[in-house]
């Protein structure tokens, strides 16, 4: 099921990273468990290997009736294969529902702003205090030299407030648009910041 037939006579240490991970995943199922815990099983893998593992997990859950608990930061993966999602912050479950229900809970589409030069975290911090802004996450498009900020907003008025904030702060706004809510934005709405912002925040 995971394409290991041609490698059965190989030593584990001679396999590539992707095939080692396939073996590691298989080991978790070899004793026919009813419940399986997996910690970021596709992290750092190439697209095809990650897809193969996801397909394997879905098949195991559906055809063998297993409960699979997946700990991951890969929200696209969660959206693709999980039927229930629990968002946890600092050891507390903040929400637990289907991916669709969690995304619907936000209501308004998110606001995306592209700006140059990419803003640093300090210049963006006041954005979280704009009325109706529930949180944001930022990233940099290295190839284009553009910063992208995704803002979780309550509605059109708060989206305009975020745009006005960016302009008044002297940021060069290239473009902005609204997009359908993602699970990462649900996380941001509940926690107030994205994964990158959490990694760089100073300890309290």
CATH number of 5-83: 3.40.50.300
Q: How many CA atoms lie within 13 A of 151 on its CB side?
A: 32
The SS3 of residue 68 is strand
What proportion of the chain, given as a percentage, has pLDDT over 90? Answer: 45
Quote the pLDDT of residue 188: 82
What are the structural domain ranges in the chain? 5-83, 103-200
CATH superfamily of 103-200: ACT domain (3.30.70.260)
The overall average pLDDT reported for the chain is 87
Inform me whether the pLDDT recorded for 197 exceeds 80: no
Distance CA 81, CA 64 (A): 16
Rg over CA atoms, the chain: 20
Quote the pLDDT of residue 193: 63
The SS3 of residue 98 is coil
- Per-residue pLDDT of 67-100, as tens digits, reads 999 999 888 899 989 999 999 888 889 999 999 8
- Read off the pLDDT of each residue in 161-184 and give the average, rounded to a whole number: 89
The confidence band for 41, taking pLDDT boundaries of 50, 70 and 90, is very high
Quote the pLDDT of residue 53: 92
Statement: the pTM of the whole predicted model exceeds 0.75: no
Inform me whether the pLDDT recorded for 152 exceeds 80: yes
């Amino acid at each position: 099921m995971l394409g290991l037939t041609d490698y059965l006579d190989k030593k584990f240490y001679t396999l590539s990273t992707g095939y080692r991970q396939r073996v590691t995943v298989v080991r978790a199922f070899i004793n026919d468990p009813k419940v399986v815990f997996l910690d970021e099983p596709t992290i750092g893998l190439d697209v095809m290997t990650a897809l193969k593992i996801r397909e394997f997990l879905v098949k195991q859950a559906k055809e063998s009736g297993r409960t699979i608990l997946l700990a991951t930061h890969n929200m696209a993966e969660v959206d693709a294969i999980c039927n229930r999602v629990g968002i946890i912050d600092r050891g507390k479950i903040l929400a637990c529902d289907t991916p669709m229900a969690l995304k619907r809970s936000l209501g308004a589409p998110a606001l995306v702003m592209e700006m140059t030069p990419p803003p640093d975290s300090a210049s963006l911090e006041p954005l979280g205090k704009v009325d109706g802004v529930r949180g944001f996450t930022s990233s940099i498009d290295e190839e284009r030299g553009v910063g992208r900020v995704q803002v979780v907003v309550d509605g059109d008025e708060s989206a305009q407030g975020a745009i006005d904030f960016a302009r008044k702060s002297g940021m060069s706004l290239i473009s902005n648009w609204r997009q359908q809510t993602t699970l990462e934005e649900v996380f941001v709405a509940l926690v107030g910041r994205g994964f990158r912002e959490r990694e760089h925040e100073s300890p309290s």
